[in-house]
Amino acid sequence: MSFAVHTYGGDERPRMGFFTDTSLCIGCKACEVACKEWNRIPESIQGFTGHSYDNTVDLGANTWRHVAFVEQRKELTPDQGLVEHAALEQLAAQTGLQTYQEGDGLRWLMASDVCKHCSHAACLDVCPTGALFRTEFDTVVVQEDICNGCGYCVSACPFGVLDQREDDGRVWKCTLCYDRLKDDKEPACAQACPTNSIQFGELGDLRERAERRLEQLADAGADKAQLYLADDDDGIGGAHAFFLLLDEPEVYGLPPDPVDATRDLRTTWGAAAAAAAGLGVMLAAAVLGGRR
């Protein structure tokens, strides 16, 4: 089943996206601020969480970029660990790997999360009003003048990205700066990122770049380095916003095998049709069963 709809004809543009290289993130939150400012998003003060430096908590109606902070104790064993450490130190000097702190083995993982702009987007599939649509850049955007706040997309998203805005009732999420893209500008978060952890570009180029970076990190001993959502054959058909992670996805609060529920649509509708038929049989049995 092909989900890609090419209805833009001559107006179709290259597939654009984000490659978020978390090994370069320094946790400055410039992306969060730039996003809020450009998109005029209301404040979302969550209080002091005590979860490292993360007081943003999660993505939602008023948070379209969220920087996660993970603190890990990583043992430095004399044989293997020091070699790895030295290799990573060298890599840090060469390439600006920002994720390791010196000395006591405290490892910092920082990652700027965002709407994935799935190739098979469950939010878009379930939206009953057509408020969610696929743009000419293949990204996924909510039209604020159409959304009636039915909330279906909130439960459909396998990443917990969308949410209803209080005192507004509509659902909001990252637009991948659709307005800026139309003017050939890069999204606000990518422009604000000081370390190039957030890279914006054509999806094909970004994937090639990510591939090289993954090999580089793996060679240097970052054994858990992995590309997340960088391929077309995962449960969401690949994402337009994909990531290079240094640990398993769930460590960052990301699902390891997200699935677009539409993949199971035939099963679901089949079960509903069978149940409807069964209901008919049950009603007939009850009414006609007594007329013997």
Partner 1 sequence: MSAANGDGTAGATSYYGRPVIKEPVWTPEIPAYFFAGGLAGASAGLAYLSGSGPLARRAWATALAGAAVSPPLLISDLGVPSRFLHMLRMAKVTSPMSVGTWILSAFGACTGGAALHALTGRLPRAAAVCRPAAALLGLPLSTYTGALIAQTAVPVWHGARRELPAVFAAGAAVSAGAAATVLTPPEHAAPARRLTAIAAIAELASVLVMEQRLGELGEPYSRGRAGTCKRAAQALLGAGALTVAGRGDRSRAAAIAGGAAVLAGAALERLSIFRAGFQSASEPRYTVGPQRARIAAGETRGASRRASSP
Residues 236-275 that bind partner 1 (CB under 8 A): 236, 245, 248-259, 261-262, 264-265, 267-269, 271-275
Beta-bridged to residue 21, according to DSSP, are: 244
The reply on whether position 288 binds partner 1 by CB under 8 A is yes
- CA-based angle 239:174:9, to the nearest 5? 60
How far is 141 from 135, CA to CA, in rounded Å?
Answer: 7
Q: What part of residues 142-161 is at the interface with partner 1 (CB under 8 A)?
A: 146-152, 154-160
Q: Which residue, 76 or 279, is less far from partner 1 as judged by CB?
A: 279
Q: Which residue, 38 or 243, is less far from partner 1 as judged by CB?
A: 243
Cβ-based burial of 10 (10 A; exposed 0-12, middle 13-18, buried ≥19): exposed
Q: What part of residues 48-67 is at the interface with partner 1 (CB under 8 A)?
A: 49, 51, 54, 57-58, 60
Strand, coil or helix: 123: helix
How far is 176 from 20, CA to CA, in rounded Å?
Answer: 13
The reply on whether position 230 binds partner 1 by CB under 8 A is yes
The reply on whether position 46 binds partner 1 by CB under 8 A is no
How many other CB atoms are found less than 10 A from the CB of residue 90? 13
Q: Which stretch binds partner 1 (CB under 8 A): 30-38, 93-101, 181-189, 219-227?
A: 219-227
How far is 107 from 98, CA to CA, in rounded Å?
Answer: 10
The reply on whether position 129 binds partner 1 by CB under 8 A is yes
The reply on whether position 17 binds partner 1 by CB under 8 A is no
The reply on whether position 68 binds partner 1 by CB under 8 A is yes
Q: Which residue, 114 or 245, is less far from partner 1 as judged by CB?
A: 245
How far is 132 from 65, CA to CA, in rounded Å?
Answer: 19
